[in-house]
Structure 1
Amino acid sequence: MKKFVEVLADKTSLIERARAVVVDKIVSAIASNGQCSIALAGGSTPKPLYEALAQEDLPWEKIHIFWGDERYVAPDHKDSNQRMARQAWLDKVAIPESNIHPVPTQAQNPTTDAESYEVVVKDSLPVEDGTFPKFDIILLGMGDDGHTASLFPQTPVLNETTKAIAVGNKDGEPRITFTVPLINQANCVLFLVSGKNKQTALEQVFAPQGDAITYPSRLINPQGELWWLLDLDAGAKLEATVSG
């Protein structure tokens, strides 16, 4: 694993750096494989990144979009990660609808929908014998409790080792989420973290020794590249290059 940690001067600089990295990774993946698979994050931090990507001139027909986790709500619900990404980015570019692979949430059974999404992911991506599907890019955020995707502290899904997609739990509400081994199979995992309220969790995640069940972002160690892009509010206490 190659690890990169950058602390940017402010959120605007964070988003611009993320845009540059994501575009570079998309272009590189297409040059190598003829297409690029990217899994999106929810939450407020990546929205301006998606808005910036909507301004890019990219070969959209070669880009396939997935989601790393989803609330168990209808696609048009205000809390839907799919809805946010479509409004900020996907509805504004000429990407074929067949290249957009949202998490299903309509079966009235989260386990059934998680299993269905695993089939979609495995049918869409390369899977080497005995391993998990390999994404080119997975975008992640991190909560002030150290969770990422819908991998929340002290929840059973953290121990999942055989499924690529599983059901997580947030305060008793189901979430469909990528599992740790699926995320760690990726060529590039990119965390975007903003805000002073993330400082304590980041210290725990970056500590030489720590409890990954309490701070699940510690579990993310991909076989490819791991990028942590932080604004200064989030990363002020970490030793990293400050730029922007």
Structure 2
Amino acid sequence: MYQLNEFTQRSELDEALAENVAQLLIQAVKQKGKASIAVSGGSTPKGFFNALSQKDLPWQDITITLADERWVGIDSDDSNTRLVHENLLQNKAVNAKFFHLKQGDELTDETLADLNLAAKSSILPLDVLILGMGEDGHTASLFPCSEQIAQALSSSTAPLLKVVPQTAPYQRITFSFAYLKQSKNTFLHISGTNKHAVLEQAIAGNDSRAMPIRAFLQDPAIDTQVYWAE
């Protein structure tokens, strides 16, 4: 299931999404003493990150992580970890915790096992999930071109997986659909006419392996709030 929320300006979307997410995080902390949020990379969320970082939240009780990460150094321009540190873990959000997906030099089976144990014990299920979407309909690092796509969409897989896309650089680590699906609040944040066209294409079909974002838009158990601005 999905609901489309359209905005005329990206700044308007950023503020509305930030306010919505802030209230959800406050509610989660009140209910259980802590909250977790997974965000996505790219240029689209920068304005949202800035708006959220200026909200008065119990940041010391909130853990931020990524829906996926490229296995690159934190100093790389392609590092989503760097993006979050420079744009979200700022202002009032400097006291938030950060759960690193990229740990160590190599993405080994042992590293994955340790990360899966840590994720299960500290941040899962997520209270808030902010997804992005590529031109090919991928989300997080659930790439239709990868050999791991069936495993990534499986209902019986681990929380975190290694993915090697064939049409994008770097090996990746990503949360699987089975565990992203458990998020209590799911948002898809996109902008521009091209992404709107991709969204319409995703809504029109039902093959999730061809366009993995369909798994979130069409699953009756998920209420995906789509935030789009020109």
Same-fold call, TM > 0.5? yes
Q: Deviations over 1:211-230 (max 9, x none)?
A: 21111100124845321111
Query: Pick from 195, 198, 208: which aligns with 1:212?
Result: 208
Looking at structure 1, the residues matched to 129 and 109 of structure 2 have their Cα atoms a distance apart, in angstroms, of 22
Paired amino acid for 2:148: V
Paired amino acid for 1:186: S
What corresponds to 1:121 in structure 2? 119
Looking at structure 1, the residues matched to 144 and 49 of structure 2 have their Cα atoms a distance apart, in angstroms, of 27
Query: Pick from 178, 185, 190: which aligns with 2:182?
Result: 185
Looking at structure 2, the residues matched to 186 and 39 of structure 1 have their Cα atoms a distance apart, in angstroms, of 9
What corresponds to 1:58 in structure 2? 57
What corresponds to 1:168 in structure 2? 163
Q: After the TM superposition, which residues 1-244 of structure 1 pair with which residues of structure 2 at under 5 Å, given as runs?
A: 3-93=2-92, 95-96=94-95, 99-109=97-107, 111-125=109-123, 133-160=124-151, 161=154, 162-170=157-165, 171=167, 173-207=170-204, 209-220=205-216, 221=219, 223=221, 225-231=223-229, 233=230
The Cα of 1:91 is off from its aligned counterpart by 3.8
Q: Deviations over 1:70-116 (max 9, x none)?
A: 0110112111111111111214335447x211112423235443333
Paired amino acid for 1:148: T
Kept after mapping to 2: 8 A contact 1:7/1:230: yes
The Cα of 1:38 is off from its aligned counterpart by 0.5
Q: Deviations over 1:8-34 (max 9, x none)?
A: 112122212211211121112112222
Gap runs ≥5 in structure 2: none
Looking at structure 1, the residues matched to 6 and 104 of structure 2 have their Cα atoms a distance apart, in angstroms, of 40
Paired amino acid for 2:206: G
Q: TM-score under structure 1 normalisation?
A: 0.83
Change (3 A) 1:29 1:4: farther
CA RMSD of aligned residues (A): 2.0
Paired amino acid for 2:213: S
Looking at structure 2, the residues matched to 20 and 183 of structure 1 have their Cα atoms a distance apart, in angstroms, of 22
Kept after mapping to 2: 8 A contact 1:165/1:176: yes
The Cα of 1:117 is off from its aligned counterpart by 2.1
Q: TM-score under structure 2 normalisation?
A: 0.88
Looking at structure 2, the residues matched to 102 and 222 of structure 1 have their Cα atoms a distance apart, in angstroms, of 31
Query: What SS is found at the alignment partner of 2:148?
Result: helix
Looking at structure 2, the residues matched to 79 and 203 of structure 1 have their Cα atoms a distance apart, in angstroms, of 28
Query: What SS is found at the alignment partner of 1:227?
Result: strand
Query: What SS is found at the alignment partner of 1:82?
Result: helix
Query: What SS is found at the alignment partner of 1:200?
Result: helix
